[in-house]
Amino acid sequence: MNAVTPLHDTDPARGSRLEALNRWVEEVAALTRPERIHWCDGSQAEYDALLARMQADGTLSPLNRETHPNCWLHRSDPDDVARVEHLTFVCTRERDDAGPNNHWMAPTEAHAKIDALFEGCMRGRTLYVVPYCMGPIDSPLARCGVEITDSPYVVANMRIMTRMGAAALARIEREGAARGERTDTFVKGLHSLGELDPERRFIMHFPEELAIKSYGSGYGGNALLGKKCHALRIASWQARQEGWLAEHMLIVGIENPQGETHYIAAAFPSACGKTNLAMLIPPERYREADWKVWTVGDDICWMRPGEDGRLWAINPEAGFFGVAPGTSARSNPNALATIARDTIFTNVAVTDDNQPWWEGLDDRVPALDWQGRPYDPANGPAAHPNSRFTVSAKQCPTYSPHAEDPQGVPISAIVFGGRRASLVPLVFEARDWTHGVLVGAAMASETTAAAAGKTGVVRRDPMAMKPFCGYHFGDYFAHWLSFDKPGAKLPKIFHVNWFRKDADGRFLWPGFSENLRVLEWIIGRVEGRAEGVQTPIGVLPDTTDLYLGGLPLEAINLERLLSLDHGDWVVELKGFAVHLEGYGARLPRELSEEHMRISADLLHSDA
């Protein structure tokens, strides 16, 4: 590792040429009182030294070097294994700007509360200064940040998940110099593990200051501040001000046999299959016909209107922070190939020969569970349900050659989806942009282990952004609606549900690679050649509109997947009306009118 920087060192070769950044680092150091400061350069030598340091202190251990070269296991504190939404705050001057979708605290109170925790918290520790870029380093849509942390695990993960180090610092310095040493040219993130005490844990966002403060957690979504904190909560605020969109979406390219590629952005709640869809392998008949799937991103999508009127998107992340359980040779062979080397695993189990293991991987019996205990089914799952892998996106076999294009890729369709065991059909298309925004706003899904709390509870999760939108949802919907203007060539909007079940609790749709059959219909609708049936909730495929060759799907199950129960939908929309009322006067009138129109159509068509 490079020599660390003493607090009193003023050597211009150290730190940054941007005085505003240096001054902030000094202020944080005075508050947290670290033993030493290290400015991260992102080099391989630095990464190797971080790994060696964590191995020495027992926070990281090597996995089987023959089967998983350069792979590592990290075990979290058992009380620190997921996002803590009830301790996550958006701190705006006006409470209503944060909206009912966020926990709010006044900025002055929030700074005082969390700074009291930061007081002296890095004594005996290294303060790491982590400059990073979200998005390709030369992309005009990319945005930069600096995270200060005392966790080498966070630094190692940030190196994988972002463009971290010297190149990012250089861009921050250029942008800062161009704007007169202002401090609002990069997002400032301060993080400390603290004592890992759940009673002394907060994740605070200050969008008006482009600042984040996180204390008391080492979990990814709480501690890797470039991820959900910056790339969604803060970036969504930036995006509204600057005229673009920061979304909780995968980006996948579907190439047809003619060599034409359509890029689809899809929003699903965490642990609902984004990574699987982003890395989808076509079914055998599609592979034989020369269909291809290209991975651009699996979690976050930043979109902006291009000069041609289309929405162009980048993946602001450089890696995957994927959910391990359920990942298998059947569900996602590309993910298994991606994580076979140079990967950090968190809270997985291990086999007797020290290979990573989790539920759904295979039929082996693990030796140790995620807490390092001899595996005993009485203790629960061997791997934590929210166990993760962190790996460079470039290791994915289907990583798109256009994923690093500075201008991004053009989006043909936007897909919303959630985990619903009933009610919602396999796929339907919104009539227009306004209807599509309402479809996204109406999303509901069963909760998963990605967030603390009960799982399997259906909750509203508009556009999969409930935990991540950095401002009032009413204003957020209005921002979406603002893109529908003369000259815009907006993507068509769809909704999918891979998770519908029969009366016995069995999935009606096989999912995984077979989802390409649904995407083919979506692309056909985009191109204007696929048929569909008009219904009150949108356009559904008929049972003959999906290509099902080679798929052993019973006709009765297909009918259930594409069925529309008018009575149940009337009840659903009544519940959604109550949800909309919670946004008060900031809810766009267009959405209320669209909701009333669909409700009337349902009642009329069922009469």
pLDDT band, residue 272 (cuts 50/70/90): confident
- Domain containing 217 equals 19-39+84-242
The answer to whether the annotation marks 205 as part of a ligand binding site is no
pLDDT at 237 over 70: yes
pLDDT at 28 over 50: yes
Residues 293 and 221 reside in one and the same domain: no
Q: Identify the CA nearest to 449 among candidates 329, 515, 332, 359.
A: 359
**DSSP class per residue in 107-164:** HHHHHHHHHHHHTTTTTTSEEEEEEEEES-TT-TT-EEEEEEES-HHHHHHHHHHSEE
Residues designated catalytic: 272
pLDDT at 208: 97
Partners of 411 in beta bridges:
263
Residues 116 and 169 reside in one and the same domain: yes
Residues 442 and 484 reside in one and the same domain: yes
Average pLDDT score over residue span 103-118:
98
H or E segment at 55?
Answer: helix 44-57
pLDDT at 332 over 70: yes
- What CATH number is given to the structural domain containing 166? 3.40.449.10
Average pLDDT score over residue span 532-556:
96
Using an 8 Å Cβ cutoff, are 479 and 465 in contact? no
Residues 390 and 410 reside in one and the same domain: no
Average pLDDT score over residue span 50-58:
97
User: What's the mean per-residue pLDDT of the chain?
Assistant: 94
pLDDT at 10: 35
Per DSSP, 566 falls in state H
Last residue of a domain, one of 369, 395, 421: 395
The answer to whether the annotation marks 215 as part of a ligand binding site is no
What backbone torsions phi and psi does residue 571 show, to the nearest 5 degrees? -60, -45
The answer to whether the annotation marks 11 as part of a ligand binding site is no
- What CATH number is given to the structural domain containing 376? 2.170.8.10
Whether residue 44 lies inside any domain: the answer is: no
pLDDT at 606: 66
Per DSSP, 7 falls in state T
pLDDT at 447: 73
Whether residue 420 lies inside any domain: the answer is: yes
pLDDT at 184: 77
Q: Distance of alpha carbon 374 from its chain centroid, rounded?
A: 33
Angstrom distances, CA of residue 522 to CA of 260, 428, 430, 434, 519: 15, 9, 11, 18, 5
Last residue of a domain, one of 194, 214, 242: 242
Using an 8 Å Cβ cutoff, are 488 and 425 in contact? no
Number of domains in the chain: 3
Average pLDDT score over residue span 54-81:
97
**DSSP class per residue in 442-486:** T-EEE--TTBSS-SS-EEE-GGG-TTT--S-HHHHHHHHHTT--T
pLDDT band, residue 50 (cuts 50/70/90): very high
pLDDT at 604: 85
Residues 146 and 214 reside in one and the same domain: yes
The answer to whether the annotation marks 273 as part of a ligand binding site is yes
Last residue of a domain, one of 242, 264, 283: 242
Q: Identify the CA nearest to 286 among candidates 7, 549, 569.
A: 549
pLDDT at 12: 34
pLDDT band, residue 8 (cuts 50/70/90): very low
pLDDT at 180: 79
Average pLDDT score over residue span 311-340:
96
- What CATH number is given to the structural domain containing 282? 3.90.228.20
Residues 277 and 411 reside in one and the same domain: yes
pLDDT band, residue 3 (cuts 50/70/90): very low
Q: What is the pLDDT of residues 450-477, one digit of tens each?
A: 555 566 678 899 999 999 999 999 999 9
Q: Which residue has the higher pLDDT, 452 or 161?
A: 161
pLDDT at 605: 81
Q: What pTM, to 2 d.p., does this model score?
A: 0.95
Reduced to 3 states (helix: H, G, I; strand: E, B; else coil), residue 245 is strand
Residues 435 and 558 reside in one and the same domain: yes
Average pLDDT score over residue span 3-24:
64
The answer to whether the annotation marks 83 as part of a ligand binding site is yes
The answer to whether the annotation marks 497 as part of a ligand binding site is no
The answer to whether the annotation marks 275 as part of a ligand binding site is yes
Q: What is the pLDDT of residues 436-451, one digit of tens each?
A: 999 999 999 987 655 5
Whether residue 598 lies inside any domain: the answer is: no
pLDDT at 2 over 50: no
Whether residue 437 lies inside any domain: the answer is: yes
Q: What is the pLDDT of residues 418-440, one digit of tens each?
A: 999 999 999 999 999 999 999 99
Residues 139 and 264 reside in one and the same domain: no
Alpha helices in 482-565 (DSSP H): 515-527, 555-561
Residues 280 and 165 reside in one and the same domain: no
The answer to whether the annotation marks 227 as part of a ligand binding site is no
Residues 149 and 273 reside in one and the same domain: no
Average pLDDT score over residue span 380-405:
97
H or E segment at 580?
Answer: helix 566-581
Average pLDDT score over residue span 540-561:
95
The answer to whether the annotation marks 270 as part of a ligand binding site is yes
Residues 408 and 362 reside in one and the same domain: no
Rounded to a whole number of angstroms, the distance between the first and last alpha carbons of the chain is: 73
The answer to whether the annotation marks 472 as part of a ligand binding site is no
The answer to whether the annotation marks 276 as part of a ligand binding site is yes
Q: What is the pLDDT of residues 126-148, one digit of tens each?
A: 999 999 999 999 999 999 999 99
Residues 372 and 481 reside in one and the same domain: no
Whether residue 578 lies inside any domain: the answer is: no
Whether residue 209 lies inside any domain: the answer is: yes
